[in-house]
Amino acid sequence: MRILRNYILREIAAPFILSLSALLFIMLVANLIHQADKIIAPGVSLIDILKLFISWIPYLLRYALPISLLMSILLSFGRISSDNEIAAMTASGFNLYRIIYPVIVVGLIFSLFSVILNDRIATYSHFASRKILTRIAVSNPISCIEDGTFLHFNRHIVFINRIKDNKLMGIKIFETQEGKPPRTIVAREGVLMPDLKNNSIKLKLIDGSSDQANSENPGDFYQLKFETYVMSLDLSQTQADKIQKKPKDMNMRELWKKIDNLKTFNIDPIELILEIHKKISLAFANLAFVIIALPLAIKTKRSSKLAGFAIGLVIIILYYALLASGSALAAKKILSPMLGSWIANIVLIAAGSFLIFRTVEK
């Protein structure tokens, strides 16, 4: 039995490692493309980019692990079944339950590990990636600015009409003043210069004017023109160490603490409750994918990798469609948060168990 178990696990291991590596690579590249305008820019260090890549991996693993496990089982058991090895094993006196038992145990182990991954490691890494992106934004603020956007600082609201060759064009700045009308500064162009030591950004304005209040009559303004003018914009609102955690950044203990806090103000914490259940249900997607993949791979008897990928894709789409639908219904109070988060696992495990039973009985 030990020889059979080791053989089956060895057959699964190679496609699992290959699938996991390929999937992580694709996900990392997709994230890189999504954040390219922020991180691939002058002034962004290679070390920060590498740290960002590393911080993405644990969070992406929560999705990559179950999908890789699913694909590896479909490919390996599809090949074993098509070569009639399953038939040979059962003819030799091995019950099908004994053949698939080690794989189900692996799925359970992956699920238990993923509970820790989703609750602790992934949340920590997700929050770390947000802090790195904020630090990159501070060190290279122009990389995070788009044409026609408003930038909010402590006492200043800055409007940028467009960006050309790393220069800001068509700048309008509103400086709020307590008890007074806002001061307006207009400039043809400007350059951002980060001042990390003082936690601020120096904005060098070129060819502009400022509406200055009359000291005798604060309601009246007179215009001052300038060729160059340097002003400091406070970044205290955007420090990386002051970023507030989102639900995805919180572990279950922090989420429960936040839920109790919201309840004291009679605020419905349904989204936070859903996040807790989804952390656990996503972890047990490993087990659900194993249980549904085993009978499908055995019954289809296809050695073609394309067929395995096609079946896997259908299962993945079905799972996440059920998860999204269940979460949406739970958010609308049609389903309980637990049922809404677990409905995808329940459907796959029930269907897989039924198919396994039918396969064994034949």
∠ CA 296-304-23 to the nearest 5 degrees? Answer: 80
**CA-based nearest residue to 144, from 153, 133, 152, 155:** 133
312's tokens: 């896997």
**CA-based nearest residue to 283, from 117, 101, 123, 127:** 117
Q: Would you state the pLDDT for residue 240? A: 47
Q: How far is CA 238 from CA 141, 168, 351, in A?
A: 11, 20, 49
Contact of 209 with 226, CB cutoff 8 Å: yes
Q: Would you state the pLDDT for residue 179? A: 63
CA atoms within 13 A on the CB side of 124: 8
The single-letter code of the amino acid at 113 is F
269's tokens: 């914490």
Provide the Cα torsion 311, 32, 54, 20; round to 10°. Answer: 20
Query: What span, in angstroms and rounded, lies between the C-alpha atoms of 108 and 14?
Result: 19
In three-state secondary structure terms, 317 is helix
pLDDT in tens, the chain (362 residues): 677 878 889 999 999 999 999 999 999 999 888 877 667 765 677 888 889 999 999 999 999 999 999 999 999 988 888 877 887 887 777 788 888 999 999 999 999 999 999 999 999 999 999 888 877 766 666 655 666 767 777 777 788 888 876 688 888 888 776 666 677 889 999 887 766 666 567 888 999 888 766 656 656 667 788 889 888 776 555 444 456 788 889 999 999 999 999 888 888 899 999 999 999 999 999 999 999 999 998 887 655 677 888 899 999 999 999 999 999 999 999 999 999 999 999 999 999 999 998 887 66
Burial of 64 from C-beta contacts in 10 A (0-12 / 13-18 / 19+): buried
Q: Would you state the pLDDT for residue 163? A: 80
What's the count of helices (H) and strands (E) in the chain, helices before strands? 11, 6
Query: What span, in angstroms and rounded, lies between the C-alpha atoms of 181 and 2?
Result: 81
Contact of 338 with 279, CB cutoff 8 Å: no
44's tokens: 């962004």
310's tokens: 């096609």
CA atoms within 13 A on the CB side of 200: 12
Strands (E), the chain: 149-152, 156-164, 167-177, 180-195, 200-213, 221-234
Burial of 242 from C-beta contacts in 10 A (0-12 / 13-18 / 19+): exposed
Q: Which of the 8 DSSP states describes residue 145?
A: -
Query: What span, in angstroms and rounded, lies between the C-alpha atoms of 262 and 247?
Result: 13
Whole-structure pTM value: 0.76
Q: Would you state the pLDDT for residue 85? A: 80
Q: Would you state the pLDDT for residue 236? A: 52
Query: What span, in angstroms and rounded, lies between the C-alpha atoms of 279 and 118?
Result: 6
- Residue owning tokens 């696992």: 345
Q: Would you state the pLDDT for residue 88? A: 82
